[in-house]
Structure 1
Amino acid sequence: MIPPLRRIVAVCSLGAALAACGSAGPADTARPAPAKSSASASPSTARPPVLAPGPGGLTPVFEHGPRTLGKNIALTFDADMTADQGPRAASGEHFDNPELIGTLRTLKVPATIFMTGSWADQYPAEARSLGHDPQFEIANHSYSHYAFTQDCYGLPTVDADQMRADVERAYTAFRTAGVPHALPYFRFPGGCYDQQALRALNGLGVTAVQWDVVSGDAFATDADAVARQVLDGVKPGSVVVMHCTRSAAPTTERVVRTVVPELRKRGYRFVKVSELIGETTGQH
């Protein structure tokens, strides 16, 4: 998990996003899009901006947008369902957060939700509602929330030859839940990756999305301290990682109510990750 109230800079010392989102609005009743073949089982064919692959087709990594093209920042929320959280959710523990989603809607804050496929399986109506709301964009956070490296905050590890399948399975789960246009953006569970993980996703056409501001909201109980960490950390182009689960990040809704008006006073504009990537690539 992302350690509370700490600034992490090493690639694989970024904490895991162990939280989940929910929907405050009524679930959309549209039928799920039909499943596609595995060759196109990944992102939507209406391609938003992506970074160019690295040498040898290596999956590119995005951490923040331009610092000099205006005071735009992206709030991101990870919708996790870890190996132990599925049974806990089945027993009544809440890994969604309708109040937070309702606050984002009330404040008119666009956001990017990095969703696991297992979360979409657990909360299909909420996944569908988020996926049909133009205020939000849905991106991939793996199916299982197993780590893509060893020693990633105690998470179970997915084998290298199963990494691509795990990402594709998440896109299939989104379609089954009725999410029509999941984006070609992928966030590694725990923020942990290495060259092997990047190579494993070659050819999927995804951009790996990290962050440059750790909110520290995971398991935090002091909303003011979390808000201060966000406010102290943001810069033009920042990507802020947050969580939206009532169980594992109980302060996040209060944090959002604090930081959004303050950052707007400072001249910041909230955008989705796709807009920051578009600014980076010149596709905006």
Structure 2
Amino acid sequence: MVIPRLRHITTVCALGAALAACGTADPAGGARPAPAKSPVSASPSASHPPVLAPGPGGLTPVFEHGPRSLGKTVALTFDADMTSDEGPRAAAGEHFDNPDLIGALRALKVPATIFMTGRWADEYPTEARSLGHDPLFEVANHSYSHYAFTDDCYGLPTIGAGNMRTDVERAYASLHQAGVPHALPYFRFPGGCYDKRALRTLSGLGLTAVQWDVVSGDAFATDADAVTQQVLDGVKPGSVVIMHCTLSAAPTTEQVVRAVVPELRRRGYRFVKVSDLIGASSGHR
């Protein structure tokens, strides 16, 4: 399921990320490391990426955008989404990846943060490994199943509170098994939907939940110019832009990226990763 274009988001259940995906083949190949014994803590500890302090009562903190006053920076994010029941569609030839888009980001030298579901990593392990080993990108957690953590979340199936932590941990295990060496301790809720119960359930995992403040509107879009304009109209210093990179559900995204990147650079913006914005927000550099 892909969320249609909308310009506004709510405070708690923001406009959702599409069931989109991104990746590119790893020409080098190579053996994959064994699964981590503690999937959530083991991978992030290697590089000590910045995280936000827990909220009141130890709730998982939520990040929406970086500081507005520290220069013109913007982070492009892409969700590598695939639900647990979409394997037959992939087997039938539907592409949940978009290698040309990743190629465009590499050609333009644009860093980006990829929020990847464990099910997607299972389906495209070579592509997951390639993204995880490319210093231009950082890979974070988007759940294993892409089932919603709240009720009434854009028609997504829901996951019970008793299975939320397991779903997150299973995603980290799949990312590690696919060859992503250091999946970050950042989590994007499926559909962008969360509530206090979900934040409380994930407390103690050391995660920062990452939302966004700019909805690109690329899901199901056929007018690349309209999507481009929506992004350009929405970006402010410190913005986090959500975009999709599945060829079947967001066919214009590569074209949008090729238009947005040079224009934002012309306006003085510098592209960074989500970790850079969180570091600036939390005092890390």
TM-score when normalising by structure 1: 0.96
Deviations 1:109-166 (A, max 9, x none): 0000000000000000000000000000000000000000000000000100110110
* Structure 2: distance between partners of 1:278 and 1:30: 32
1:27 deviation in Å?
Answer: 4.8
**SS in structure 1 of the partner of residue 229 of structure 2:** helix
1:12 deviation in Å?
Answer: 1.2
**SS in structure 1 of the partner of residue 13 of structure 2:** helix
Alignment CA distance shift 1:276-1:187 (3 Å): same
Matches within 5 A, 1:66-145: 66-145=67-146
* Structure 2: distance between partners of 1:274 and 1:260: 19
* Structure 2: distance between partners of 1:6 and 1:39: 33
Aligned residue for 1:16? 17
1:229 deviation in Å?
Answer: 0.2
1:13 deviation in Å?
Answer: 4.3
1:36 deviation in Å?
Answer: 1.4
**Does residue 1:150 correspond to 2:120, yes or no?**
no
Q: Does the Cα contact within 8 Å between 1:27 and 1:128 map onto a contact in 2?
A: no
Q: Does the Cα contact within 8 Å between 2:41 and 2:206 map onto a contact in 1?
A: no
**SS in structure 2 of the partner of residue 12 of structure 1:** coil
1:44 deviation in Å?
Answer: 4.1
1:55 deviation in Å?
Answer: 1.9
* Structure 2: distance between partners of 1:27 and 1:124: 13
Aligned residue for 1:64? 65
* Structure 2: distance between partners of 1:44 and 1:19: 28
* Structure 1: distance between partners of 2:43 and 2:169: 5
**SS in structure 2 of the partner of residue 7 of structure 1:** coil
The unaligned stretches of length 5 or more in structure 2 are none
Deviations 1:146-198 (A, max 9, x none): 00000000000010011011000000000110100000000000000000000
Aligned residue for 1:51? 52
Matches within 5 A, 1:115-264: 115-264=116-265
1:30 deviation in Å?
Answer: 4.1
* Structure 2: distance between partners of 1:55 and 1:5: 31
Deviations 1:73-123 (A, max 9, x none): 000000000244322011111000000000000000000000000000000
Alignment CA distance shift 1:258-1:68 (3 Å): same
Deviations 1:226-268 (A, max 9, x none): 0000000000000000011001110000000000000000000
**Does residue 1:268 correspond to 2:269, yes or no?**
yes
The unaligned stretches of length 5 or more in structure 1 are none
**SS in structure 2 of the partner of residue 126 of structure 1:** helix
Q: Does the Cα contact within 8 Å between 1:63 and 1:239 map onto a contact in 2?
A: yes
1:16 deviation in Å?
Answer: 3.2
Deviations 1:195-233 (A, max 9, x none): 000001001000000000000001111100000000000
Q: Once superposed, which parts of structure 1, at least 4 consecutive aligned residues long, lie more than 4 Å away? A: none
Q: Does the Cα contact within 8 Å between 2:20 and 2:80 map onto a contact in 1?
A: yes
* Structure 2: distance between partners of 1:205 and 1:144: 20
Alignment CA distance shift 1:143-1:41 (3 Å): farther
* Structure 2: distance between partners of 1:93 and 1:27: 25
Alignment CA distance shift 1:40-1:8 (3 Å): closer
Aligned residue for 2:30? 29
Alignment CA distance shift 1:259-1:37 (3 Å): closer
Alignment CA distance shift 1:272-1:13 (3 Å): closer
Matched residue count: 284
TM-score when normalising by structure 2: 0.96
* Structure 2: distance between partners of 1:27 and 1:162: 36
* Structure 2: distance between partners of 1:67 and 1:10: 18
Q: Does the Cα contact within 8 Å between 1:110 and 1:272 map onto a contact in 2?
A: yes
Q: Does the Cα contact within 8 Å between 2:35 and 2:173 map onto a contact in 1?
A: no
> Alpha carbon RMSD of aligned pairs, Å?
1.5
Alignment CA distance shift 1:70-1:50 (3 Å): same
Q: Does the Cα contact within 8 Å between 2:26 and 2:126 map onto a contact in 1?
A: no
* Structure 2: distance between partners of 1:30 and 1:240: 34
